[in-house]
């Protein structure tokens, strides 16, 4: 069984990405994944012969093809969000 992407919170099903790429791109197209996470989109792009650029803010040594963005400040919680925690 082929596995696409790493275990990741909010991991999107590879079949959904595969259908989207099949119908809306062609081999050689560039696909941008701005929230790459576990790498499902890059893995499917490789299987479907699409080029990709993938970015994420959470570093992981297991995904060298994902560019990690640094220097982003976390948003401070509003008073309402603080009262709910």
pLDDT digits (tens, 9 = 90+) for 30-84: 999 998 888 899 999 999 999 999 998 887 777 888 888 877 666 665 666 555 5
pTM greater than 0.95 (yes/no): no
| Residue pointed to by tokens 């996470």 | 37
Res. 11: pLDDT tops 80: no
The 3-state secondary structure of the chain reads CCCCCCCCCCCCCHHHHHHHHHHHCCCCCEEEECCCCCCHHHHHHHHCCCEEEEEECCCCCCCCCEEECCCCCCCCCCHHHHHHC
Res. 1: pLDDT tops 50: no
The answer to whether the CB of 33 falls within 8 A of the CB of 44 is no
């Amino acid at each position: 069984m082929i596995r696409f992407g790493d275990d990741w919170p909010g991991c999107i099903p590879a079949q959904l990405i595969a259908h989207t790429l099949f119908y809306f791109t062609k081999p050689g197209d560039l696909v941008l994944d701005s929230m790459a996470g576990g790498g499902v989109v890059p893995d499917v792009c490789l299987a479907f012969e699409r080029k990709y650029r993938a970015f994420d803010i959470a570093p992981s040594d297991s995904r060298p093809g994902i560019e990690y963005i640094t220097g982003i400040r976390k948003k401070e919680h509003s008073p309402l969000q603080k009262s709910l925690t």
